[in-house]
Amino acid sequence: MRVNGAQSDVIGVTDRGLQYGDGLFETIAVVNGQPCLWQVHMDRLQAGCSRLGIPMPDRDLLLAEARQEIGQQPRCVLKIIITRGVGGRGYRPPVETACSRILYSSPWPDYPAAAVKQGVKLRVCNTRLGSNPTLAGIKHLNRLEQVMAQAEWDDSAIAEGVMLDHDERVVEGTMSNLFVLQDGQLLTPDLSRCGTAGVMRGLVMDIAASLEIPVTVMDMKLDQLWEADALFLCNSLIGIWPVRQLEDRAYDLSAIPPILREAITAQGFVP
């Protein structure tokens, strides 16, 4: 673990990351010893820093520190946390920000091996996402909604929960983005009010475009999911998981174009 360049596994109690969740993070797959989609993760981190008014750390410095944390590990998860550091007066950010940067690796999660081929089972969460366009899309440290949503169920057969906003719009999974396949098109929820715009979501959209599969970003209700030909989830670690079942509705995994999955797998970062 590395905090502000030095080996450390602790951070000051007065850091605004702890005090207010005043910061951002990235969770990056490391495959064959390489951090996958590094530039895309850095672009999103930079966008988040810009939105929160936190100075973006130097990318080369982050990459050098990331490589030190990865070391000789062929596969692991790299987490980068950037906070607004110490200072300011109460909630008010300091005029000069010396942000804190934290990097560490952890073992690859033991996701169910069958998830990729046989699909996963989902539920609909009761916890709703609050709307906040100022914070929507970025991967900030205020994650209590996701914590409360995941605390709702304790059945390991259910891999993920779908989260809605307060107007009953479908937004995302607790730790993933969601795509609907309908009549050969991809649909995915608009994230301008709430939700996290995942790096893998962006990649899926890019790959779909290159395969000439139309993608529509839209306001979506649960009806759209019940009526879908197929659903899948994505994030930087799982790649894409087809959905076998959402509540009582079963889906046809074969409706997901194999070429889409192959194209994503071919990027080399999906297990």
Structure tokens at 270: 């999906």
Question: Coil, strand, or helix at residue 225?
Answer: helix
> Of residues 108, 143, 222, 271, which one binds a second copy by CB under 8 A?
143
> Of residues 131, 182, 245, 267, which one binds a second copy by CB under 8 A?
131
Site for a second copy in 9-28 (CB under 8 A): 9-22, 25
> Of residues 32, 60, 72, 89, which one binds a second copy by CB under 8 A?
89
Q: How far is the CB of 191 from a second copy (least distance, A)?
A: 14
Which region, judged by CB under 8 A, interacts with a second copy, from 141-149, 195-203, 217-225, 250-258?
A: 141-149
Nearer to a second copy, 169 or 261 (CB): 169
145 binds a second copy (CB under 8 A): yes
194 binds a second copy (CB under 8 A): yes
Q: How far is the CB of 52 from a second copy (least distance, A)?
A: 7
Question: Coil, strand, or helix at residue 88?
Answer: coil
Residues with Cβ within 8 Å of 122's Cβ and at least 6 positions away in sequence, in order, are 158, 159, 160, 161, 162, 173, 231, 233, 243, 245, 246, 247
124 binds a second copy (CB under 8 A): no
Residues with Cβ within 8 Å of 7's Cβ and at least 6 positions away in sequence, in order, are 1
d(CA 24, CA 142): 9
**Binding marks (x or -) toward a second copy, 41..60, rule CB under 8 A?**
-----------xx-------
d(CA 185, CA 256): 10
User: Are 77 and 27 spatial neighbours (Cβ–Cβ below 8 Å)?
Assistant: yes
Nearer to a second copy, 174 or 188 (CB): 174
Q: How far is the CB of 11 from a second copy (least distance, A)?
A: 6
d(CA 242, CA 156): 17
Which region, judged by CB under 8 A, interacts with a second copy, from 30-38, 143-151, 198-206, 262-270?
A: 143-151
At which residue do the structure tokens 């939700």 appear? 195
123 binds a second copy (CB under 8 A): no
Tell me the β-bridge partners of 44.
none
Structure tokens at 5: 């360049």
| Burial class of 164 by CB neighbour count within 10 A (0 to 12, 13 to 18, 19+) | buried
Which region, judged by CB under 8 A, interacts with a second copy, from 58-66, 84-92, 197-205, 226-234?
A: 84-92
> Of residues 71, 90, 107, 258, which one binds a second copy by CB under 8 A?
90
> Of residues 44, 128, 139, 201, which one binds a second copy by CB under 8 A?
128
d(CA 237, CA 193): 25
Element (H, E) at 27: strand 23-31
117 binds a second copy (CB under 8 A): no
Please report, as ranges, the residues that interact with a second copy according to CB under 8 A: 1, 3, 8-22, 25, 52-53, 81, 83-84, 89-93, 102, 104, 109, 127-135, 140-151, 166, 174-175, 194
